[in-house]
Amino acid sequence: MFRTQIISTALAAVISLSGAAGMATAEGADIVMVGGKLEDQFWSVVKRGVDDAAMVVESQGGSVTYLAPRNYENLGADAADLVRTGISRSPDAILVANWVPEAENDAIKDAIAAGISVVIYNAGGMQAALDTGAMTYIGSDEYVAGVAGGEYFATHGVMNVLGVNTLPGATNTEARCQGVADGMAKHGGTSKQLPMPGSSFGNPTAVAQGVKSALLKASDIEGVVTISVGDATSSANGIMQAGLSDRVKLGSFDMDGPGLDRIKDGTQLFAIDQQPYLQGFLSVMLANSYVNYGLDLPTKPILTGPGIVDASNIDATLAGVQAGTR
């Protein structure tokens, strides 16, 4: 029902705008989106939003092409290459997550210089948009989200937290970990990072073993926070393997069905939601409206989070996950 209502509302808006501003461009908007691997549960939800918005784009004769790296081991350079692949297609707009600005910014600037409209989403924040000349940023403020998570831990009695980062060096994950540390520090707590190679992202065995080893070496750790939902499940297993499920509390950025089930049964403390569905949906719709009608929003950035999901609101959240939109 939720998904149908969004599509219906979007289509109604297109009909209304067509009457007010004339027909869309003759061939519609050609949009390229650079995002994460679809095997990654987070990005599958982003893509659900992209696909719903693409229905509007395609109804006007346009297209949306989704490009993703094969893995996350050389994320910044690979993302820059994908932007350049997008440029070679001469699209009207490119939507890109600015994970590693020093690697991606030149490619983004090249796109803008070629007359392509660019929207930064998911990673990089408004500063990335300002630095490159992109239209805006759509997503969560990763540092603010981290601070919220750190404060949640500390105000719930968890004063020493390990941040599991399987994408070290990426702007968004580093901001998350720093935010957690700063949020903890506000209440007298501490947090240190456990950096792991990019090849460990989504690798259940590697993450579980890494978390288990870290916990057994540092008996004062009271909490673990992960930068992704897949790593949260792996970390839960690592905590269990260390025999510390009754003492070490788990939190995660982002969420999925298993994570919410853990919150429901009390084995995970919280998840930080950035509403990835909206990141995909709004990015495509904004680019499409700008290309076709010159429409832009004065609200910059457009924030989709953060929000804390815990035992107090878990039931209301589960329905969205089952629909593939949370």
Residues near 183 by beta carbon (within 8 Å), at least 6 away in sequence: 146, 147, 148, 149, 150, 151, 152, 153, 154
Strands 137-140, 93-96: parallel, antiparallel or unpaired by DSSP? unpaired
Please tell me the predicted confidence (pLDDT) of residue 202: 81
pTM for the whole structure: 0.81
- Show the low-confidence residues of the chain (pLDDT under 50): 1-25
For residues 252 and 42, is the Cβ–Cβ distance under 8 A? no
- DSSP H/E element including 233: helix 229-241
For residues 142 and 182, is the Cβ–Cβ distance under 8 A? no
Enter the DSSP assignment of 40: S
Task: Residue 97: name the closest of 283, 326, 294, 273 by CA.
Answer: 283
